[in-house]
């Protein structure tokens, strides 16, 4: 079991944990619920392999829960994108569609992107932070960039940054089991302070803080995004 994300669903008064289950058939997305972090109810596998990096929105849209996730097509050159899916009951999922595309070419987020922490909801829209995996000749670099989704319709991307806002710099981010990785699965917001909890080089957990207002302000300066951002 890997990379858990936690979302509190106010409507049902429970936390849902989305995690990667590593099976004989490859990695896949599973959900579990808890009221107290003492006992957990598994909702079983909700996506077949290969799929990772899933997190729920804390709200329903037209009566359906929504989840962002990261399928891995086996076909060459099709890219690995962030998808969104919906569910009436948390157990059965459908209406799958690509939400944010990995860019093509020399970008920091070319070819392979996945959600990092669960979506946050400042008044401007759903704030998401995703990782872009840049393949270099001497390994990969995981960096983080933000995007903003429409509050009522999260299938609409309002803004997407061209630049990363966080990347491996410290020694414990640059060297470890997997070099050059910053990988958050959770963040909290208190006032304007964002606290980002992330894995450093797959070897330790680290904390960084940021100003929500500044990130939103930065995103507001990015050009408006259409469907399938990054299509070239």
Partner 1 sequence: MRPNIIKRYKGNPILTKEDVPYPVETVHNAGVIKHRGRYIMLFRAHRRNGRSIIGLAEGPDGFHFQVRSEPFLVPSTDHEFMTYEEYGVEDPRICEIDGEYLITYSAYSRYGVRIGLALTKDFKVVKRLALITQADCRNVVIFPQKFNSLYLRLDRPHSGISPWSIWLSYSPDLIYWGNSKLAMKPLKYHWDELKIGPGATPFPTSQGWLHIYHGAFQTMSGAIYRLGVALHDPKDPAKILGVADDWILQPEDPWEVTGYVPNVVFTCGAIPEEDGTVKIYWGGADRVICVGTAQISDLVDLCLTKPRPPL
Minimum gap (Å) between residue 91 Cβ and partner 1 = 5
Q: Contacts with partner 1: how many residues (CB under 8 A)?
A: 39
Q: Which of 49, 117, 119, 132 binds partner 1 (CB under 8 A)?
A: 49
The H or E element that residue 216 is part of is helix 212-221
Quote the DSSP letter at residue 120: B
Q: Which of 2, 8, 35, 88 binds partner 1 (CB under 8 A)?
A: 88
Joined together, the tokens standing for residue 196 give 């980002």
The strands making up 193-200's β-sheet, listed across from edge to edge, are: 182-190, 193-200, 204-211
- In angstroms, rounded to a whole number, what is the distance separating the alpha carbons of residues 133 and 72? 13
Q: Which is nearer to partner 1, 96 or 121 (CB)?
A: 96
Q: Which of 9, 33, 59, 96 binds partner 1 (CB under 8 A)?
A: 96
Minimum gap (Å) between residue 74 Cβ and partner 1 = 4
In b/e form, how buried is each residue of 217-229, taking b as 16+ CB within 10 angstroms?
Answer: eebeebeebeeeb
Q: Which stretch binds partner 1 (CB under 8 A): 5-13, 18-26, 138-146, 172-180?
A: 18-26
- 91: contact with partner 1 by CB under 8 A: yes
Joined together, the tokens standing for residue 42 give 């598994």
- 28: contact with partner 1 by CB under 8 A: yes
What residues numbered 98-117 form the site for partner 1, per CB under 8 A? 98
Tracing tokens 């970008």 back to the chain, one arrives at: 107
- 60: contact with partner 1 by CB under 8 A: no
Tracing tokens 């079983």 back to the chain, one arrives at: 44
**Cis peptide bond upstream of 227, omega within 30:** no
- In angstroms, rounded to a whole number, what is the distance separating the alpha carbons of residues 91 and 23? 19
Q: Which of 16, 46, 115, 147 binds partner 1 (CB under 8 A)?
A: 46
- 92: contact with partner 1 by CB under 8 A: yes
Minimum gap (Å) between residue 149 Cβ and partner 1 = 19
Q: Which of 41, 95, 193, 211 binds partner 1 (CB under 8 A)?
A: 95
**C-beta of residue 56 within 8 angstroms of C-beta of residue 39:** no
Q: What is the DSSP string of 23-60?
A: ETTEEEEEEEEESSSSSEEEEEEEEPSSEEEEEEEEEE
Minimum gap (Å) between residue 203 Cβ and partner 1 = 23
Q: Can you give the binding site for partner 1, defined by CB under 8 A?
A: 23-28, 43-51, 69, 71-75, 78-79, 81, 83, 85-89, 91-98, 228
């Amino acid at each position: 079991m890997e990379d858990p994300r936690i979302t509190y669903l106010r409507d049902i008064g429970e936390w849902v944990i989305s995690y990667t289950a590593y099976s004989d058939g490859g990695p896949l997305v599973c959900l579990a619920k808890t009221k107290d972090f003492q006992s957990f109810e598994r909702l079983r596998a909700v996506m077949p392999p290969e799929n990772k990096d899933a997190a729920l929105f804390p709200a329903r849209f037209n009566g359906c829960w929504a989840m962002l996730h990261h399928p891995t097509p086996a076909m060459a050159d099709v890219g690995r994108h962030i998808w969104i899916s919906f569910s009436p009951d948390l157990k059965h999922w459908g209406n799958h569609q690509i939400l944010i595309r990995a860019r093509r070419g020399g970008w920091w987020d070319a070819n392979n992107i996945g959600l990092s922490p669960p979506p946050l909801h400042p008044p401007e829209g759903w704030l998401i932070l995703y990782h872009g995996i840049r393949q270099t000749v001497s390994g990969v670099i995981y960096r983080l960039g933000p995007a903003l989704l429409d509050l009522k319709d999260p299938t609409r991307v309002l803004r997407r940054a061209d630049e990363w806002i966080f990347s491996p710099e410290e020694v414990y981010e640059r060297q470890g089991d997997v070099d050059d990785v910053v990988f958050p699965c959770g963040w909290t917001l208190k006032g304007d302070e964002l606290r980002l909890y992330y894995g450093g080089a797959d070897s330790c957990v680290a904390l960084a803080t940021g100003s929500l207002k500044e990130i939103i302000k930065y995103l507001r300066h990015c050009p408006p995004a259409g469907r399938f951002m990054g299509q070239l």
